[in-house]
Amino acid sequence: MMKPINKWLMMACGLIVIGIAGAAWAAEPVATLRGGVAIDRETTPPRITQFEDTDQKRPRNYPEQPPTIPHDIDGYRVDINSNKCLSCHARSRTGESGAPMVSITHFMDREGQFRAAVSPRRYFCLQCHVPQHQTDPLVINDFVDVDTLLLNDARHGKE
């Protein structure tokens, strides 16, 4: 059982917290993918667009970026039974398919040992590699890659 004074103190603190949170919320509504439509209303979903299917490699924006998938992957299943990506990108298949081999890092287990086949923790390709759609980004992104940054710095005479 709490003492009455503690109870009043806690209630006051609670009210202050709610008040601050409410003020913050009122000032800047959280940006959601619903786009400002009330929660009890249906949004108009954007049209489903086609996969970019050019088969042209896209440059990476930074060295560690997992390369994006430059082709349609509709209906390609990756599950416990089969991995459709590997039917072209597995080491043994690349000769016939002409597809890039999954990189050597995918053969590494968590002890740093290179195994004979793709390591289970790297099996689900779409966790990192994604196809692209020709569409407007939902969130504005002003990412600038490191080369451009260095170039800009050099232009402005910085070290």
Scanning 16-24, 80-88, 125-133, 145-153 for contacts with another protein by CB under 8 A, the matching segment is 80-88
Q: Nearer to another protein by C-beta: 70 or 145?
A: 70
Closest to 84 in 3D by CA, of 125, 117, 28:
125
Binding another protein (rule: CB under 8 A), the pick from 7, 58, 77, 133 is 77
Residues 88/94, Cβ–Cβ less than 8 Å: yes
| 134 contacts another protein (rule: CB under 8 A) | no
Q: What is the dihedral of CA 30, 31, 36, 37, to 10 degrees?
A: -90
The least CB distance from residue 80 to another protein, in Å, is 7
Closest to 55 in 3D by CA, of 75, 74, 73, 69:
69
| 72 contacts another protein (rule: CB under 8 A) | yes
| 55 contacts another protein (rule: CB under 8 A) | yes
Residues 131/69, Cβ–Cβ less than 8 Å: yes
The binding site for another protein (CB under 8 A) comprises 53-55, 71-72, 74-75, 77, 79-82, 84, 86-87, 90, 92-93, 97-98
